[in-house]
């Protein structure tokens, strides 16, 4: 990937979050996207990849009507 670093695998998980008692009734307040990056990467490389995921055009389209939008974070290694 960069300077001998490797990115072996990328895994994503999406969690919805709602007001208490609203699950299944309304649009969620937002989504949390967890990105797991497996490989030998430096912290700045990991941050750069998570920032790239944050700018995803599909994510921006989905987030349009959600009060708290879509939040992307790096998930801890397994």
Cα–Cα distance, 10 to 31 (Å, whole number): 19
Query: Is residue 16 within 8 Å of 31, Cβ to Cβ?
Result: yes
What is the per-residue burial (b if ≥16 Cβ within 10 Å, else e) of 46-61?
Answer: beebbeebeeeeebee
- Domain ranges, ordered by start, for the chain: 9-74
In this prediction, residue 66 carries a pLDDT of: 66
| Cβ neighbours, 10 Å, residue 5 | 12
What is the per-residue burial (b if ≥16 Cβ within 10 Å, else e) of 9-45?
Answer: eeeeeeeeeeeeeeeeeeebebbbbebebeeebeeeb
Its pTM stands at 0.64
* pLDDT one-digit tens code per residue, 33-67: 899 999 999 999 999 999 988 887 777 767 666 67
In this prediction, residue 17 carries a pLDDT of: 81
The more confidently predicted of residues 57 and 16 is 16
């Amino acid at each position: 990937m960069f300077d001998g670093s490797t990115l072996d695998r990328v895994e994503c998980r999406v969690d919805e979050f709602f007001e208490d008692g609203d699950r299944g009734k309304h649009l969620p307040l937002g989504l949390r996207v967890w990105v797991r990056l497996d490989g030998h990467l430096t912290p700045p490389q990991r941050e750069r990849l998570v920032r790239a995921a944050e700018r995803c055009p599909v994510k921006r389209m989905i987030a349009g009507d959600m009060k708290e939008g879509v939040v992307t974070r790096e998930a801890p290694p397994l």
